[in-house]
Amino acid sequence: DIQMTQSPSSLSASVGDRVTITCRASQAISSYLAWYQQKPGKIPKLLIYAASTLQSGVPSRFSGSGSGTDFTLTISSLQPEDVATYYCQNYNSVPRTFGQGTKVEIK
Amino acid sequence: QLVESGGDLVQPGGSLRLSCAASGFTFSNFWMSWVRQAPGKGLEWVANIKQDGGEKNYVDSVKGRFTISRDNAENSLYLQMNSLRAEDTAVYYCARGGRYFDPWGQGALVTVSS
């Protein structure tokens, strides 16, 4: 199985800061990577698929990059409504696997 | 829209069947999946099923115990869970897609405890 490792596990940043979350796959997965946002008490929401394609309706301050084993989710200007846990997910192979999550808080 | 039902408290070794009613899209055109989240934990993919039900995949921890199925005439997805264990306790989400998942249902809580 492909293991997905996110870093950091949590972060605290100020409103307006640029925030970067990293996801590393245990083997190459091309661009078969998705990112999700889960706000406290809410269901997960798809942000990005194919490593860098923004899902319809997602604010443009979110962006994704990477291929192979190393991927990044960037929030260009952190907003209060971005407080959430973010997960990466591999879909190169079965089983589909998620990272452990990165909790983003406002400083 | 995806709406799960069937979550409950069940004893270890017991069985439960989850259902997911889909609306607002052509259900028969999409792979479908189940993803679970244990209390306070991260997301874990459980299973997926092809449009015609002809291909199914499972995470190793549920193989031989869980069965995913669908009824395209009823726009419904199911998860039959047998030989339940404490570690199966989680919110189970139904989600559209077999690769990445969008949208997700509100979830059904399954608690396995004596």
Report d(CA A49, CA A70) in Å as an integer. 15
Question: How confident is the model at residue B42, as a pLDDT?
Answer: 98
User: Which stretches of chain B sit within 8 Å of chain A by CB?
Assistant: 33, 35, 42-45, 48, 57-60, 93, 99-107
Residues of A in contact with B107 (CB under 8 A): 43
Write the DSSP assignment of B23-79 as a string of letters.
Answer: -SS-GGGS-EEEEEE-TTS-EEEEEEE-TTS--EEE-GGGTTTEEEEEETTTTEEEE
pLDDT of residue A41: 96
Residues of chain A with pLDDT under 50: none
From chain A, pick out residues whose CB is under 8 angstroms from the CB of B42: 87, 98-101
Q: Do A95 and B57 touch (CB under 8 A)?
A: yes
Residue B85 pLDDT: 98
Is the Cβ pair A91, B105 closer than 8 Å?
no
Q: Which residues of B touch A99 (CB under 8 A)?
A: 42
Q: Report the mean per-residue pLDDT for chain B.
A: 98
pLDDT of residue A42: 98
Q: How confident is the model at residue B76 (pLDDT cuts 50, 70, 90)?
A: very high
Ramachandran sector of residue B97 (left: φ over 0; alpha: ψ -120 to 50; beta: rest): left
Mean pLDDT confidence for B103-114: 98
pLDDT digits (tens, 9 = 90+) for B33-53: 999 999 999 999 999 999 999
